[in-house]
Amino acid sequence: MKSIIIGTAGHIDHGKTALVKALTGIDADRLQEEKKRGITIDLGFAHMDLSSANGEALRLGFVDVPGHERFVRNMLAGVGGIDLVLLVIAADESIKPQTREHFDILQLLGVRRGITVLTKSDAVDAETLEVVRLEVEEFLRGTFLEAPNSPIVPVSSLTGTGMESLKSALASAAAQVEVRDSNAVARLPIDRVFTMKGFGTVVTGTLISGTIRRDDELEVFPTGRTVRVRGIQVHGQGAEAALAGQRTALNLAGASTEQLARGMTLTPPTTFNATDRVDVKLRLLGSAPRALKTRARVHFHSNTMETIAEVVLHDAKQVTPGSAALARLKLPAPALLLPGDRFIIRQFSPVVTIGGGVVLDAAAPMWQNVSKGRARTGRASSLRDLAHLMQTLESGNNEAILGIRVTRRGRAGLSLAEAVAETGWPREAVLKLSAGLVNQGLLARFQDRMFAASDFALIRKDLINAVSSFHVKDPLRQGMTKSELQDEMTRGFGVAAELFDAALASLVGQRNIEAAGDLVRLPGHGAVMKDEEAESKRKIEEAFAAAALKVPALHEVIAGLKIDKARAQKIVTLLLREKTLVKISDELVFHHGALDALRRQMAAYKVKSSKIDVANFKELTGVSRKYAIPLLEYLDRERVTRRVGDLREIV
Ligand SMILES: Nc1nc2c(ncn2[C@@H]2O[C@H](COP(=O)(O)OP(=O)(O)OP(=O)(O)O)[C@@H](O)[C@H]2O)c(=O)[nH]1
Ligand SMILES: [Mg+2]
């Protein structure tokens, strides 16, 4: 059975609630105060079954909204999830302020279908009814409710006149409504919270996408609490699952009514992130009293949520009435918003509806990162990037949107889970789009992370460059370690390990780079040491080994070699890195064998005495004071000895 949500809209007292009752038999005014005052204050709900002309069974859920100008915010919490609208205009009053305001809101929210109902037809004569109909036709010209696509149906809820034509108009409009995607990620904006005797906490809302099943765990946004679905009712009847487009009541475990409120949203756990900044396309109504300046604060309404937002215009200082702009909205606290979400803005004071728009990006980068990973040539170029980004996000071309979302992450890439969180698309949909882009050579995917193909190509070049310049700088080493190479690449910007590993593996696979154990090098750089250098290396090592603790001055050793000083210095550095030689002070370098022998001497001495002074040390080792002091300090550092006054304790 197809489920459709129908919202009412229109000026106060024009007969919305009476119409819903005439159709469904249900009085949607459920509050005592509403009954007492005869007006609707908060949202009301009703439902009915209908079959369409072709026999399809339809389940219609009604959201009845208040018309009073003071309760527009309640109206806004109700119209977020509707599929079609009944625009209610009383024949005896025609178009009034909230007729206009509600209709503006419907258009800004992108409602695409509806029926205009002229109520109270019994209260006017045929001539007046005709005049009002003409006025209304004029009012609706060029909009989604333009006749004859959307009919104008005169009715009387009092006498029942016109109800049958309204039902058949409803059935044909409902048949045209596209079914919402129940395979998408579930999202239930909460519009009511209450306790039910014997059940506990109950929340209701219109399930705007996905499916919720009994026993599902859900995350509450923005609080982060986890709740469990104990029971489900759809349109007032027990159900195993609620599907997108259905009025849904959930009996929840894990939260009390105080911990839940209208405006919160339920989703599968750890799927989405709340955000306090969104990039949007914003339209200011032609009827807005004044231009909207950048940095202005407005009331912000989306789905059932309401908050305050600061509007920062991307490409202008102000938006004039009737025009549109790209903007970033800053929220005082994080909220769950996704691309495609519609919103309404109302002037801060006095509170009137001035515009609305659509969220393009709820994972909007911070300003300073707008052109992350690329050379910034100032705000102008980042604005161009941004305009391009926004155009793509607005285009509805999901492949291009995924492409741009991946590309802007540069070498950090975008994981499948992050893509789901940014877009609200199910993982399978992301996988499919990503496979298409990989086939076209635009993206590369390594494990669960996607990268722009151009970034993959660039990092391969950078890897080769880094290894070649390593060979130039350090010609005597066989290669650089993978972690040195990774550090070199990561300097400055984050590089995902998946990208580094894949790029290196592909270079090794194509023999652009050679891997030997943990070392990587350019092919042919394995044994680069020339004979002369190898001989010099051996000479240096031998000179130090032979000298034991009475080491020669480094410059003397170097002077005795055939090669130039700079090369010799490199060889010494190499020997130090290999730990063949050990530097114990700026002046003194020893062969590691000599130092090992010294440790053994100290261990042997300890048998005789656990303490040693400088004089005894000189005697034991045969070195002068110039060597003894640095050597003892070295032994202290190595914790072979411990200094106690003038003595050393051997530990
Ligand atoms: N004669 C006549 N009166 C009607 C008709 N529909 C509604 N009324 C009366 O108009 C008054 C307002 O009707 P409601 O249905 O409460 O109006 P509403 O649009 O829901 O008002 P709010 O929710 O407060 O905006 C009530 O006294 C109704 O009895 C109709 O078709 N004919
Ligand atoms: Mg009402």
- Condensed to tens digits (0 to 9), the pLDDT of residues 328-350 reads 999 999 999 999 999 999 999 89
Query: Which range among 250-259, 574-583, 588-597 shows the weakest confidence by mean pLDDT?
Result: 574-583
Residues 6+ apart with CB under 8 A from 461: none
DSSP 325: E
Q: What's the 83 CA to ligand 1 centre distance in angstroms?
A: 23
Residue 214 has pLDDT above 80, yes or no: yes
Q: What's the 122 CA to ligand 1 centre distance in angstroms?
A: 12
- Condensed to tens digits (0 to 9), the pLDDT of residues 221-276 reads 999 999 999 999 998 889 999 999 999 999 999 999 999 999 999 999 999 999 99
Tokens encoding 441: 């050579």
Is 386 or 572 the better-scoring residue by pLDDT? 572
* 3-state secondary structure at position 259: helix
- CA–chain centroid gap for 417, Å, is 10
> Is any atom of ligand 1 closer than 6 Å to the C-beta of 120?
yes
Beta bridge partners of 279: 328, 361
Give the position of tokens 């709900």: 45
Residue 306 has pLDDT above 50, yes or no: yes
Q: What's the 20 CA to ligand 1 centre distance in angstroms?
A: 10
Give the position of tokens 């052109």: 371
Listed residue (275, 276, 316) closest to 296, CA to CA = 316
> Is any atom of ligand 1 closer than 6 Å to the C-beta of 12?
yes
The reported pLDDT for the residue numbered 373 is 39
Query: Which range among 14-28, 304-318, 464-478, 529-543 shows the weakest confidence by mean pLDDT?
Result: 529-543
Residue 422 has pLDDT above 50, yes or no: yes
Type and span of the H or E element at 154 = strand 152-154
* 3-state secondary structure at position 412: helix
Q: What's the 204 CA to ligand 2 centre distance in angstroms?
A: 20
Please give the average per-residue pLDDT across 518-536, as a whole number.
Answer: 76
Residues 6+ apart with CB under 8 A from 639: 651
Tokens encoding 452: 């722009």
Cα gap 86→140, rounded to integer Å: 13
The reported pLDDT for the residue numbered 375 is 37
The reported pLDDT for the residue numbered 492 is 64
Type and span of the H or E element at 258 = none
Neighbours of 164 (CB within 10 A): 10
Which residue's CA is minimally distant from atom 13 of ligand 1? 15
C-alpha distances in Å from residue 165, one per residue of 51, 66, 115, 254: 14, 25, 11, 47
Please give the average per-residue pLDDT across 615-634, as a whole number.
Answer: 90
* Cβ atoms of 314 and 200 closer than 8 Å: no
> Is any atom of ligand 1 closer than 6 Å to the C-beta of 276?
no
* Cβ atoms of 348 and 297 closer than 8 Å: yes
The reported pLDDT for the residue numbered 558 is 79
**Nearest ligand 1 atom, CA 39:** 24
Type and span of the H or E element at 519 = strand 519-521
Tokens encoding 235: 């349109």
DSSP 114: E
Pick the ligand that lies closest to the CA of residue 21: 1
Q: What's the 7 CA to ligand 2 centre distance in angstroms?
A: 12
The reported pLDDT for the residue numbered 424 is 93
Is 560 or 76 the better-scoring residue by pLDDT? 76
Please give the average per-residue pLDDT across 193-199, as a whole number.
Answer: 91
- CA–chain centroid gap for 517, Å, is 39
C-alpha distances in Å from residue 384, one per residue of 376, 400, 455: 12, 17, 20
**Nearest ligand 1 atom, CA 20:** 15
Which residue's CA is minimally distant from atom 9 of ligand 1? 15
Which residue's CA is minimally distant from atom 23 of ligand 1? 40
Strand ranges inside 348-424, DSSP E: 353-361, 414-415
- With the most atoms of ligand 1 within 8 angstroms of its CB, the residue from 11, 17, 75 to mutate is 17
- For residue 478, name the pLDDT band (cuts at 50, 70, 90): confident
The reported pLDDT for the residue numbered 268 is 97
- Condensed to tens digits (0 to 9), the pLDDT of residues 93-114 reads 999 999 999 999 999 999 999 9
Residues 6+ apart with CB under 8 A from 406: 413, 414, 419, 437, 443, 450, 451, 452
Please give the average per-residue pLDDT across 418-442, as a whole number.
Answer: 95
The reported pLDDT for the residue numbered 526 is 63
Which residue's CA is minimally distant from atom 8 of ligand 1? 15
The HSE-up count of residue 179 (CA atoms within 13 Å, CB side) is 12
**Nearest ligand 1 atom, CA 68:** 25
Give the position of tokens 């002229």: 118
Q: What's the 71 CA to ligand 1 centre distance in angstroms?
A: 17
Tokens encoding 50: 């209908």
Beta bridge partners of 265: 189, 221
* 3-state secondary structure at position 109: coil
Neighbours of 167 (CB within 10 A): 15
Which residue's CA is minimally distant from atom 4 of ligand 1? 120
> Is any atom of ligand 1 closer than 6 Å to the C-beta of 471?
no
Beta bridge partners of 215: none
Cα gap 15→600, rounded to integer Å: 103
- With the most atoms of ligand 1 within 8 angstroms of its CB, the residue from 119, 124, 125, 128 to mutate is 119
Residue 376 has pLDDT above 70, yes or no: no
C-alpha distances in Å from residue 228, one per residue of 194, 204, 219, 265, 584: 16, 14, 9, 14, 65
- With the most atoms of ligand 1 within 8 angstroms of its CB, the residue from 12, 14, 87 to mutate is 14
Cα gap 432→287, rounded to integer Å: 44
| CA Rg value for the chain | 38
Is 508 or 476 the better-scoring residue by pLDDT? 508
C-alpha distances in Å from residue 256, one per residue of 199, 203, 218, 230, 307: 12, 10, 15, 13, 23
- CA–chain centroid gap for 602, Å, is 63
Q: Could you give the dihedral angle defined by the CA atoms of residues 576, 582, 584 and 587, in that order, rounded to the nearest 10 degrees?
A: -60
Residue 393 has pLDDT above 70, yes or no: yes
Cα gap 504→456, rounded to integer Å: 10
Report the relative pairing of strands 292-293 and 247-253 from DSSP bridges: unpaired
> Is any atom of ligand 1 closer than 6 Å to the C-beta of 18?
yes
* Cβ atoms of 44 and 119 closer than 8 Å: no
> Is any atom of ligand 1 closer than 6 Å to the C-beta of 14?
yes
Q: DSSP of 185-221, one letter per residue?
A: --BEE--EEEEETTTEEEEEEE--BSEEETT-EEEEE
Please give the average per-residue pLDDT across 165-173, as a whole number.
Answer: 94
The reported pLDDT for the residue numbered 33 is 93
The reported pLDDT for the residue numbered 163 is 96
Q: What's the 145 CA to ligand 2 centre distance in angstroms?
A: 22
* Cβ atoms of 4 and 174 closer than 8 Å: yes
- For residue 380, name the pLDDT band (cuts at 50, 70, 90): low
Beta bridge partners of 581: 591
Please give the average per-residue pLDDT across 182-198, as a whole number.
Answer: 94
The reported pLDDT for the residue numbered 575 is 86
Q: What's the 177 CA to ligand 1 centre distance in angstroms?
A: 28
Q: What's the 40 CA to ligand 2 centre distance in angstroms?
A: 4
The reported pLDDT for the residue numbered 370 is 40
- For residue 445, name the pLDDT band (cuts at 50, 70, 90): very high
Residues 6+ apart with CB under 8 A from 501: 446
Query: Which range among 235-244, 311-320, 577-586 shows the weakest confidence by mean pLDDT?
Result: 577-586
Q: What's the 20 CA to ligand 2 centre distance in angstroms?
A: 9
**Nearest ligand 1 atom, CA 11:** 25
The reported pLDDT for the residue numbered 535 is 80
Burial class (CB in 10 A: 0-12, 13-18, 19+), 396: exposed
The reported pLDDT for the residue numbered 518 is 84
> Is any atom of ligand 1 closer than 6 Å to the C-beta of 44?
no
The reported pLDDT for the residue numbered 491 is 78
The reported pLDDT for the residue numbered 266 is 98
In 409-452, alpha helices (H): 416-423, 427-439
Q: What's the 27 CA to ligand 1 centre distance in angstroms?
A: 12
The reported pLDDT for the residue numbered 369 is 42
Beta bridge partners of 480: 520
The reported pLDDT for the residue numbered 162 is 96
Which residue's CA is minimally distant from atom 32 of ligand 1? 120
- For residue 597, name the pLDDT band (cuts at 50, 70, 90): very high
* Cβ atoms of 619 and 626 closer than 8 Å: no
Report the relative pairing of strands 641-644 and 647-650 from DSSP bridges: antiparallel
Please give the average per-residue pLDDT across 199-209, as a whole number.
Answer: 94
* 3-state secondary structure at position 640: coil
> Is any atom of ligand 1 closer than 6 Å to the C-beta of 13?
yes
Residue 528 has pLDDT above 90, yes or no: no
Phi and psi angles of residue 305, each rounded to the nearest 5 degrees, phi first: -90, 150
The reported pLDDT for the residue numbered 547 is 86
Which residue's CA is minimally distant from atom 6 of ligand 1? 15
> Is any atom of ligand 1 closer than 6 Å to the C-beta of 17?
yes
The reported pLDDT for the residue numbered 372 is 38
Cα gap 476→488, rounded to integer Å: 19
Q: Which amino acid is at 136?
A: V
**How does the average pLDDT of the chain come out, rounded?**
90
Which residue's CA is minimally distant from atom 3 of ligand 1? 120
Residue 384 has pLDDT above 80, yes or no: no
Cα gap 468→489, rounded to integer Å: 13
| Sign of the torsion formed by the C-alpha atoms of 408, 410, 413 and 418 | negative
Q: What's the 66 CA to ligand 2 centre distance in angstroms?
A: 5
- With the most atoms of ligand 1 within 8 angstroms of its CB, the residue from 8, 11, 16, 92 to mutate is 16
